Chain A
Amino acid sequence: MRTTLRALALACAVLVTASACATGSFRDGPSDTITILTHYGSQPQKSELKKLVDKWNGTHPDAQVETQTVFYDDLLQTITARQTAGQGPDIINAYSLWGGQLAAADVLDTPPSDVASDIREHYSPAAAKTVSVGDRVLGYPTEMQTYALFYNKKLLAAAGVKHPPKTWDELREISRKTSTHDSSGNLDVAGFGLTAGFNDTAVVHPFASLLQSAGGRYMTDHGRAAFDSEAGEKALSLEKRLIDDGSADPGIDVAKAFPSGRVAMTINAGYMIGSLKAVMGKSYKDIGVAPIPGPRLGDRGSVAYSFFSGVNARSHHKKQAWEFLRWLNAEPAAHGATRMGALQFSVGTISGRVSDSRALAVDDPNYTPFVDALDYALPEANPQGGQQMKTALQGSIQSVWSGEETVDAALSSAAAEADATLPRH
């Protein structure tokens, strides 16, 4: 018995020592390199960021920066795991919706006052709001996403349509006209693409844009659900009608079908310009972008979200990290735009810094509706639990699409589930 107890004590001691060794090896002391973790795991973002970092490293031998990249789907997990293990990067690039979660856990350093002022004064109100929790700014907005209506000029012209829709009635009408079916009744060309990919952003943001165009809101400033409203019912009913009309099919993979000319119109964020250019080549000239219409002429709506760069509160190089971020996001470079602004436009998306977007959007008229939307788009609120609210709404929207729930019931249950998440935090 005594031998067994001794053996157990020995095993525990070994275990504790091993665990301590493992934890201790995470950080032997402050490293001289500033690390930046981003979701730019694929090209061209990865190489474009690397070019800028190499440029900085060439002129700042005492503050070398190292890029660390993952894919978007792995970003939050990577931040969580590394931060918990004491191996967090010095600079964190994060989705604005996670702001509340990161702020609640004090993951991010409070920016110097000049950085916070720069963000409040020189970025669009929507951009500044997406990177703030309450009055506290978390970091520089990097890529900015607003929503607009993509349309295929060729398909619209073939259906005898000269202009993109300016009202919901026109949207339904043009969707019907441009839809074609094969002999088995399958949609050959969908007049309208409801992005059925199971990603919550792809489902929720187009709905939220239509909701705003009908005068509604997605969330209140305090993160309570606001979509269970008359405007919400109208917006979701419109999506359901498009399906019932035979103009939309949530089973179609719009990300693939739109560039191949099998979807006439769809609502998506500005980043789609970059992917369409890469996939469509010369055929990209057939693509047009217009503001998202509302129920009446002149109504419009859009949602804004961003990614932002903030400095880790546990970083040993806060000063140098903020210096690097100023150089990247605030210092004017070619064409009077910041380096980050130029990077964003080079990969086909816009910047939240108004001067960057005005200076760089001139090359492609398709950017204009996205840049214009910076003025009126509703910033996606980022309370703690915001992600859970969004996922709940995604499920409800899909249940209406598939006919499982009525619009009223779906919005009501999503709002109840969303609001119930708040006390948990």
Chain B
Amino acid sequence: MTPTLTARGSLAKARKHQSRAAWAFLSPSLLFFAVFLVLPLLFAIALALASWGGFDLGRIRFSGTDNFAKILKPTGSFLVPILANTLLFAFGAVALALIASVALAHAITRLRFQGLWRTLYFLPMVTTVVAVGNVWKYLYQPGSGLINGLLNAVGIGSVKFLSDTSTAMPSVIVVQAWTSVGAAILILTAGLKAIPEAYYEAGALDGTNAWTSFWHITVPLLRPTLLFVLITQFIAGLQSFALIMVMTQGGPANATNVAGFEIYQQAFKFGVWGVASAMALVLFVVIFVITLAQLWIFRRKGEETS
């Protein structure tokens, strides 16, 4: 055996050893993901192609694409209003939260006691959704609610925020935006601080004012952070469940029913697990496509996304 072959053999042995060690270190997390992510995902896919009323796994019956045909039927309620509501809820909440958080984060970076402001705006994030939802329900109460009290004080009649089909969705969108502003501010202020001061100084020499420096320096350089906030908040909005559960339970008359809540109802309330799983997969595809679209749009504008 030549020395070269011996060296190659020991190198391969060392690599094999390293590979084993890597698998050993990775196995706990792989096992965790397999049990809590892969298995449920495979089970959901299987259930989406089956009929099952719960209670007994032995009663799962293959039904092909029947569940998808049922939920995607134009006369059904899943596409309209439920999926439409889901998109409206997510778009509305993200738009409101993004505008508010960019403005507030920009203002905070120019204030003293920045940590205090960031903490104050972050507080809704560390408050349980149940508490937030219930407090807002009281605020929205007709007559005795604070918001209607203020409206009445200035001569405006009470608004049936949560009990009217036309106002219920905007009302819950505001709450969702309010709860997510804190996290967005935290991330955006970090992004704003990462923009070198030299750009603003150079801009000032070129005669920029507050608006033009914000529009031509801050926004382009903040784009990676904005992309992250946009994607994470959009996904959270599309998956929203708890706030709807606490505030409206999808009512009145399905006006605030979103996919997350409907999936829960179909599975745990109606016992139609196949339909619930099919809805979950459709929601997954919607989130996936929208996320890809967002990445594509930002990439076209020259943003690094990988």
Within 8 A of A (CB), among B49-79: 53-57, 59, 70, 77
Q: Which of B125-145 contact A (CB under 8 A)?
A: 141-143
Cβ A186 vs Cβ B143 within 8 A: yes
Contact B31 A251 (CB under 8 A): no
Q: Is A391 an interface position by the 8 A CB rule?
A: yes
Residues on the A chain within 8 Å of B27, using CB: 11, 14
Evaluate contact between A251 and B251: CB separation under 8 angstroms.
no
A318 to chain B, nearest CB (A): 17
Could you tell me if B56 and A105 are in contact, using CB atoms closer than 8 angstroms? yes
Is the CB–CB distance between B55 and A395 below 8 Å? no
Contact present for A198 and B55 (CB under 8 Å): no
B213 within 8 A of A: no
- Tell which of B54, B142, B152 touches A84, judged by Cβ atoms closer than 8 Å: B54
Whether A83 lies near B56 (C-beta < 8 A) is yes
| 8 A Cβ contacts from B248-299 to A | 248-254, 265, 268-272, 275
With known contacts A14-B31, A182-B143, A101–B271 Cβ distance under 8 A: yes
Q: If A198-B249, A391-B265 touch, does A250 touch B165 (CB 8 Å cutoff)?
A: no
Residues of A within 8 A of B265 (CB): 391
Choose among A3, A79, A251, A421 the residue with the greatest number of B CB atoms under 10 Å from its CB: A251
Q: Residues of A contacting B162 with CB < 8 Å?
A: 251
- State which of B53, B254, B270 has its C-beta within 8 Å of the C-beta of A105: B53
Q: Which of B19, B143, B162, B163 is the most central at the interface, judged by chain A CB atoms within 10 Å of its CB?
A: B143
B30 within 8 A of A: yes
Report B144-188 CB contacts with A as 1/0, cut-off 8 Å.
000010001000011011111110000000000000000000000
Q: Contact flags (1/0) for B22-41 with A, using CB distance below 8 Å?
A: 01000100110011000100
Q: When A14-B27, A15-B35, A186-B143 are in contact, do A198 and B252 touch as well, CB less than 8 Å?
A: yes
Residue B16 interfacial (CB < 8 Å): yes
A14 to B32, CA, bound (A): 11
A28, CB-defined interface residue at 8 Å? no
CB <8 Å contact, B35 and A19: yes
Known: A182-B143, A251-B142, A252-B142. A105 touches B252 (CB 8 A): no
A399 to B163, CA, bound (A): 10
**Complex Cα–Cα for A51 and B170 (A):** 49
Give complex CA distance A424, B39 in Å: 26
Return chain A residues, CB-CB under 8 Å to B141. 251, 253
Smallest CB separation, B44 vs chain A (Å): 14
Chain A 7-18 interface 0/1 with B at a Cβ cutoff of 8 Å (1 = within): 100110011001
Contacts of A199 in B (CB 8 A): 249
Q: Is the CB–CB distance between A391 and B269 below 8 Å?
A: yes
Given A198-B250, A199-B249, are A250 and B163 also a contact pair (CB < 8 Å)?
A: yes
In-complex Cβ contact of A15 among B34, B158, B253, B275 (8 A)? B34
User: Is A77's CB under 8 angstroms from B268's CB?
Assistant: yes
| Chain A residues within 8 Å of B157, by CB | 184-185
Report the Cα distance A184→B153, complex, angstroms. 9
Question: Among the listed B34, B39, B77, B253, which residue makes an inter-chain contact with A398, where contact means beta carbons less than 8 Å apart?
Answer: B253
Interface membership of A387, Cβ < 8 A: yes
Q: Which residues of B contact A22 (CB under 8 A)?
A: 35
Does A196 interact with chain B (Cβ within 8 Å)?
yes
Q: Of B55, B161, B268, B275, which is in contact with the most chain A CB atoms at under 10 Å from its CB?
A: B55
A421 to B59, CA, bound (A): 19
Is A107 an interface residue when CB atoms closer than 8 A count as contact? yes
**Which residues on A sit within 8 Å (CB–CB) of B57?**
84
- Give the chain B neighbours of A19 by CB distance below 8 A: 35, 39
Which of A11, A186, A425 makes the CB contact (< 8 A) with B142? A186
Q: Are A401 and B34 in contact (CB under 8 A)?
A: no
The answer to whether B163 and A186 touch across the interface, beta carbons within 8 angstroms, is no
Known contacts A83-B56, A101-B271, A394-B251; A402/B164 CB under 8 A:
yes
Q: A184-B157, A252-B142 are in contact. Are A18 and B31 (CB under 8 A)?
A: yes
Residues of B within 8 A of A (CB): 16, 19, 23, 27, 30-31, 34-35, 39, 53-57, 59, 70, 77, 141-143, 148, 152, 157-158, 160-166, 248-254, 265, 268-272, 275
For the complex of A and B, the 5 pairs showing the least CB-CB separation, nearest first, are A186-B143, A399-B253, A198-B249, A251-B163, A184-B152
In the complex, 21 of the A-B residue pairs with CB atoms within 8 angstroms, ordered by the A residue number, are A3-B16, A7-B19, A19-B39, A22-B35, A77-B268, A83-B55, A84-B54, A101-B53, A104-B53, A106-B56, A107-B56, A184-B143, A187-B142, A187-B143, A198-B250, A251-B163, A391-B265, A395-B253, A398-B251, A398-B252, A402-B165
